[in-house]
Amino acid sequence: MSFKNKFKNFLIFLIFTSCTTLQYENKKINLYSEKYSEYDYIETAHFIINSPDILYAKEISNIVEKYYFDFMTETNLFSFIQDSPYRIIIHPDRETFIKKTKFPYSIHGFIKDKTIETYISTYTHCVLSHELTHLILKEYLGDNIDFHLWLNEGLATYFERKTCIEIDILYENIIISLPKEKLYPFSILFSYRTYPENSEDLKKFYAQSSSIVSFLIKTEGSFKFYLFLEEIKKGNLIENAIRNIYPASYPNLSIFERKWLETIGK
């Protein structure tokens, strides 16, 4: 092979590899999914989106960047810098999703290794707003978030409710319809490390946790909520975190619980 042809081939290789990999700090990241190499990609400021439907992926890319900005605004977490872009894999339909992931029919999406996998449906935007919150919290708070299931799911469901009207109505009706005695006492809710097994209890868990998060953000503001997350990052217990950040409003857990109950008319 002549030097001219060798040089031409090298240029082709250089152009191809530079277009399909992303240098992120000290990491080289493949824009194509190693697991689903046949899927195309869209790259944004914070995400790599892989899907066989590139037009849908483009639409989703704008949506998830908005979700990302909304999260930072609501939590005042603008100091957070992710370690690498989050990958979102969107399969063309539920059947393909089940076949490729081996997940059960009832699952709409999941997270693994900083990657969200889901499929095109009327619930896609709901899944993404929820799971994106989990990704950010896990990276920012580390293993500390594992000790606060209500906060992890509460904040994720809070954002899901903001993007999904049907989910918001479902959980709002649960809070409205349940008498005070049927709601989780805060001491019990905050102690959960695993999910309630009963489906109705699980719905109540999501509804109440997201309502408490909403209460904190809306009544005390995003900056204090950021400081509250900082307390969790330090490894503090919920009661100590609440007392440290909201001493005038909620000097103890019982006052915090009573004021939340008052806002929901209980």
At 181 the pLDDT is 95
The yes-or-no verdict on residue 124 having pLDDT over 80 is: yes
Mean pLDDT over 106-128 rounds to 93
- Mean pLDDT, the chain, integer: 90
Which residue has tokens 């409003």? Answer: 249
At 16 the pLDDT is 40
Per-residue pLDDT tens for 157-207? Answer: 999 999 999 999 999 999 999 999 999 999 999 999 999 999 999 999 999
Quick check: 258 and 242 in contact, CB under 8 A?
A: no
Other CB atoms within a 10 A radius of the CB of residue 263 amount to 13
The dihedral built from the CA positions of residue 153, 154, 159 and 165, taken in this order, carries a sign that is: positive
Q: Which CATH superfamily is domain 31-144 in?
A: Collagenase ColT, N-terminal domain (3.40.30.160)
Quick check: 161 and 179 in contact, CB under 8 A?
A: no
Banded model confidence at residue 259, pLDDT cuts 50, 70, 90: very high
pTM summary value: 0.88
d(CA 49, CA 26): 21
Q: Where are the domains of the chain?
A: 31-144, 163-263
d(CA 108, CA 121): 9
d(CA 251, CA 266): 21
Per-residue pLDDT tens for 25-44? Answer: 566 778 888 999 999 999 99
Banded model confidence at residue 23, pLDDT cuts 50, 70, 90: low
Question: In Å, how far from its chain's centre is CA 213?
Answer: 14
Per-residue pLDDT tens for 197-247? Answer: 999 999 999 999 999 999 999 999 999 999 999 999 999 999 999 999 999
Quick check: 47 and 86 in contact, CB under 8 A?
A: yes
At 3 the pLDDT is 42
At 25 the pLDDT is 59
Strand 86-91 and strand 47-51: pairing? parallel
Mean pLDDT over 12-29 rounds to 54
